[in-house]
Amino acid sequence: MSTLKFFGFCAAATGAILVQLALVSAVILPMDTVEARRGLGQFIQASLALTALGVAGGAVGASQRS
């Protein structure tokens, strides 16, 4: 397994877990202020970006042949 493939898929898994945790916290904790909702939205966007970059990196690493 190449290093790029390994780190890419680890980043994708981490991003997916962070998105799930953010969604669970949105259900459990009340969002009282606009800043709280905005911060949670930005956190979810960053987690989705990490997931997308991880998948892209993993795909590039998987396509490379040793």
Q: Enumerate residues 6+ apart whose C-beta is below 8 A from 19.
A: 44, 47, 48, 51
Q: Would you state the pLDDT for residue 65? A: 67
What pTM does this model have?
Answer: 0.81
Q: How many residues does the chain have?
A: 66
Instruction: Per residue of the chain (66 residues), give pLDDT as tens.
Output: 788 888 999 999 999 999 999 999 988 988 888 998 999 999 999 999 999 999 999 899 888 865
- The residue among 61, 63, 57, 64 whose CA lies nearest residue 8 is 57
